Amino acid sequence: MLRLVCLVMLTMGCSLSASSETDTPPEVTRQETRLPLEELRIFAEAFDRISKAYVEDVDDKVLLENAIRGLLDQLDPHSAFLDSESFEQLQETTTGNYGGLGIEIGTEDGVIKVVSPIDGTPAAEAGIQAGDLIVEIGGQSIRSLGINEAVDIMRGEPGSSVKLSVVRPGESAPIEFDLTREVINVASVREQFLEPNFGYVRVAQFQADTGQEVADAIAKLSEIMPIEGLIIDLRNNPGGVLQAAVTMSDLFLTGGLIVYTEGRLENAAMEYRATQAQLLADIPLVVLVNEGSASASEIVAGALQDQGRAIVMGTRTFGKGSVQTILQLTSDKAIKLTTALYFTPAGRSIQAEGILPDLWVDRSTVTKIKSNPFRLQERDLRGHLNAPSTDDATATAVAPSAAVENDFQLGQALTLLKGIALLNDKTESPLSPPTN
């Protein structure tokens, strides 16, 4: 028992001596007196009894690893123990190449919540939505699973299937999904023109090279035609690499803060600032967000919003404003520990608050009302006068593109951009009064 107590205390970074005549520096002595020695003794006693009395033989190493998991699980939803397999999965996620369903998940009140489905994956194509609560995986209740176990079950050989049961807010009964696993090759960025001169850049998640990919996407659009307005779509983007978010924000800002962090450790307090480089300096930007926009997505939205560079549209974001640091324990084991909180340039904490959009637009389905074919207009009246001919061409309204017909939020963002561009054109080129 004494050996185990010593082991625990040494692990905590202190020493236990049988003699009081030790040359211990005063600061170490003060640290030792703050340690909960009685609780450590209780832990050692509990460990010893579990090891000896549990109905099945359990390896002491497994028990200790489980104890570490318990320490971290009780802190917050994002701190975790990483064994060799978990660490490998973390690397796969940041590089964007792994096998599974394509769901970013978190925990909330003991249940597993979908942060967002990833574009083009089995989960997204099946209709799983941000905010869905996963209650069963493969017929097994999630109450008996941790988040790491849930991820392990959802991942597997491409072509194999797994059934998910989810509870969706507003629905009275669980929804069943039978999904086939695929190799998930996540395309971080894609771009297109929604209408002439109005560009669209979709960022699905933040991987190591996402910032440069966004710059390349804008360059490709600019080669096709001039850009008069740009929509940056961060909806259902679960985040990812912090530096990628900083690099992307820096593309549109000439200076000032992008994000800063605060924590207990000295190196946890950091500031990230924009440089002079900027794309589309005078072009209006709209950033689309929703409840599936998390972490790095919220950093970008918050920075562009606080600096007045973009209009943020959609719904309140997820609210993950914490920083996780990977702390290596051995060559193949580590802990992912929350060490700091993110703050926007204006000093707003993202944690559990999210980013509130400038213009709130819910996800909606809009049904067009058919026009009355029997309603008359002036041109239909017999003997109507024709308009005097002019040299100026009459402007023609452009019908909504196919990309926005079924996406109300995207359609609203495009309408806003077109309105801003039209107003700018009228301000820059006011009509001259008619001359006689």
Give the active site residues.
295, 306, 320
Q: What 3-state class would DSSP assign to 388? A: coil
Torsion of CA 43, 49, 55, 57, to 10 degrees: 80
Question: Of 247, 218, 246, which Cα lies nearest the Cα of 231?
Answer: 218
Q: Which residues contact 423 (CB under 8 A, 6 or more apart)?
A: none
Return left, alpha or beta for 9; rule: phi > 0 is left, psi -120 to 50 is alpha, else beta.
Answer: alpha
Taking residue 329's Cβ as centre, other Cβ atoms within 10 Å add up to 11
* Residue 212 buriedness (CB in 10 A; 0-12 / 13-18 / 19+): middle
Beta-strand relationship, 111-117 and 133-137 = antiparallel
Side chain identity at 251, as an amino acid letter?
A: L
Based on its alpha-carbon atoms, the radius of gyration of the chain, rounded to whole angstroms, reads 28
Six-digit token string for 307? 């600096």
Distance CA 155, CA 199 (A): 35
Torsion over CA: 184, 185, 189, 191 (sign): negative
Distance CA 230, CA 215 (A): 13
Instruction: Decide if 333 contacts 379 (C-beta within 8 A).
Output: no
Six-digit token string for 240? 């990812």
What is the helix (H) or strand (E) element at residue 184, kind and residue range? Answer: strand 182-185
200 DSSP β-pair partners: 192, 231
Six-digit token string for 251? 């593309």
Question: Of 332, 339, 329, which Cα lies nearest the Cα of 79?
Answer: 339
DSSP letter (8 states) at residue 380: G
Distance CA 210, CA 200 (A): 15
Query: Helix (H) and strand (E) counts for the chain?
Result: 12, 19
